[in-house]
Amino acid sequence: MPRVTFEGAVFSGKGEGRKFISLPWVTSQIEAALGFTPFAGTLNIRLTEENAAKKRLLDEAEKFEIRPKEGYCTGFLLKAEINGMSCGVVLPQVPNYPTDELEIVAAPNLRERLGLRDGSTVSVDVTV
């Protein structure tokens, strides 16, 4: 399957990903779509300007829909890899979501597993 590689810098988010991923109905949908139980949180990546422009390629990619409970937004998942580990890219469908951000879910805590901190550069290969 074709892949698109995105590069950017790790940054600390507001904790919204942790709240969302921790919801049982979200966790079960990620498990069904990606085949792993996600760590309760996301790895936030701020894309370079060039990579942010490539993000539009994901609009036409095959995605899994996270069907929300009432009061929550829809999200989409795409299969991906980071440093050879299976992961997923979450695309929240909220108004004004930054075009230069990617949120990554994986079974392990990626910051700990990969020794990442704010400002660390990472590459994510997304299946499109």
Q: How confident is the model at residue 68 (pLDDT cuts 50, 70, 90)?
A: confident
Single pTM value for the model: 0.91
As a three-state string, the secondary structure of 44-73 is EEEECHHHHHHHHHHHHCCCEEECCCCCCC
Domain that residue 37 falls in: 3-127
Number of structural domains (the chain) is: 1
pLDDT digits (tens, 9 = 90+) for 21-63: 888 999 999 999 999 999 999 999 999 999 999 998 998 898 9
- What CATH number is given to the structural domain containing 97? 2.40.30.30
Average pLDDT of the residues of the chain: 92
State how far the Cα of 25 lies from the Cα of 123, in Å rounded to an integer.
29
